[in-house]
Amino acid sequence: SLIGIILYFVTSSDSGSLVIDIMSANGDQDPPIPQRVFWALVEGATATALLVAGGADSVYALQTASVAAGLPYTIILCFVCIATWRALAMECGDLDPYGPDFAVSLVDPFCTVQPKLWLSFLKNIFFGPVTLYEVLKQHKQKPMFSAVAAALCWVLWIALIVAEIVHIHNPDVKLAGIYSLAWVFYLGFVTLVTVARGTIRNHYGINGNTIEDFFAALFLYPGVLMQMETVSGKGGIAPLMPDQGAPPTDPLLFVGLNGAAETLA
């Protein structure tokens, strides 16, 4: 165990000092070795000072801080992986960049000034099962089971979360750990929304997969319901790359220096 810890610390410190060294050398990919040794010694001295000043408890504090700081990046990396996969699929021709996509993005209520989207997002926070029923009914699916199951899961999720809060403030109420069951019902609700989004995507030929649908519903289910609610309306479908326009059908067509379309002679 000690050897493993030493190897882990040495390799982590080596890579960290290399990154810092490159940054301090204005991006030079081959920075001076003495400068790299200096940063490695500074990192070691900093870690030693923290351990000596904080004692044994500082180790646990550093571990907790590392996990807490790394958790948001885990979520970001999930989206980065999906974006990288889509970019490679477009490059290889497996994904049509001008194919259909949801006109409303999941984050549009946060980054655009559209009160209609704000109201739709807020409504779906509390009345998501109603929206689910209306969307499935509009697309001639069987909405009753999904809507009732989603409503039951959503209500039980909220109720059990409230029960856990009551237990925290009143320990006499024997409901310790009930929050874990609440998140089971939330996952059930998310699963129903995931299935509905996949059905809508397939109906309109929108690119995506079940994993994307699940994580979108898991982290932002009001936005997912908002997308499904607006997709059948006017302007609900847009190209995946709307700023690029339609691709040229003639391979010899190009844009000249004056900005007009020209053809090679």
Q: pLDDT tens-digit profile of 205-224? A: 888 889 889 989 998 999 99
**pLDDT score for 28:** 85
Cα separation, 80 vs 57, whole angstroms: 35
Cα separation, 52 vs 47, whole angstroms: 9
Give 52-75 pLDDT, tens digit per residue. Answer: 777 667 777 777 777 888 888 887
Cβ count near 189 (within 10 Å): 24
Structure token pair of residue 182 = 């609440």
Structure token pair of residue 88 = 């490679």
**pLDDT score for 250:** 42
**pLDDT score for 26:** 85
pLDDT higher than 70, residue 166 = yes
**pLDDT score for 39:** 87
* Between 117 and 56, the higher pLDDT residue: 117
Cα separation, 116 vs 180, whole angstroms: 35
Render the burial of 52-76: b for 16+ CB within 10 Å, e for the rest.
eeeeeeeeeeeeeeeeeeeeeeeee
Give 5-57 pLDDT, tens digit per residue. Answer: 778 777 877 888 888 888 888 888 888 888 888 888 888 888 788 777 776 67
Mean pLDDT of 77-104: 84
- pLDDT category at 245 given cuts 50, 70, 90 is very low
Structure token pair of residue 159 = 């109720």
Q: Of 47, 23, 50, whose CA–CA distance to 36 is shortest?
A: 23
